[in-house]
């Protein structure tokens, strides 16, 4: 066990008055509440006035938001195959049109 882990274990297992623990927990809770309620003007002033009046975006389920997307390599290979097939069809059509003209 490392030294910081030993100290942490020692501090947590050491008998402390209940009142002292309550004071520490109350101070931590108060600090967390005041930090959460503070106003950060640097962030609030960045929003334009028209966006401040807009509702929050709709939340998506995590499964939908993190849906599996095809890999870019696979997607580009499919696109390349589609374009090659289209080009071959257009060449055949152009050849047929050349044969029809006298």
The residue to which tokens 């503070």 are assigned: 38
Q: Residue 33's pLDDT is what? A: 77
Q: Residue 63's pLDDT is what? A: 81
pLDDT mean by block of 10 residues, the chain; 102 residues = 56 64 81 72 72 84 81 90 96 94 75
67-to-7, 57, 63 alpha-carbon distances in Å: 44, 19, 6
Q: Residue 64's pLDDT is what? A: 79
Q: Residue 70's pLDDT is what? A: 81
26-to-18, 38, 43, 73, 92 alpha-carbon distances in Å: 12, 18, 29, 55, 81
64-to-16, 56, 57, 74, 75 alpha-carbon distances in Å: 49, 18, 15, 21, 20
Q: Residue 4's pLDDT is what? A: 57
Cα separation, 24 vs 16, in Å, equals 11
């Amino acid at each position: 066990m490392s030294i910081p882990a030993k100290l942490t274990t020692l501090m947590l297992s050491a008998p402390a008055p209940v009142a002292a623990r309550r004071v520490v927990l109350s101070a931590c809770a108060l600090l967390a509440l005041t930090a959460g309620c503070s106003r950060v003007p640097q962030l609030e002033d960045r929003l334009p006035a028209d966006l401040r009046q807009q509702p929050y975006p709709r939340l998506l389920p995590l499964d939908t938001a993190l849906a599996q997307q095809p890999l870019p390599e696979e997607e580009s290979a499919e696109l390349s195959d589609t374009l090659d097939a289209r080009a071959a069809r257009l060449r055949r059509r152009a050849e047929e049109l050349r044969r029809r003209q006298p």
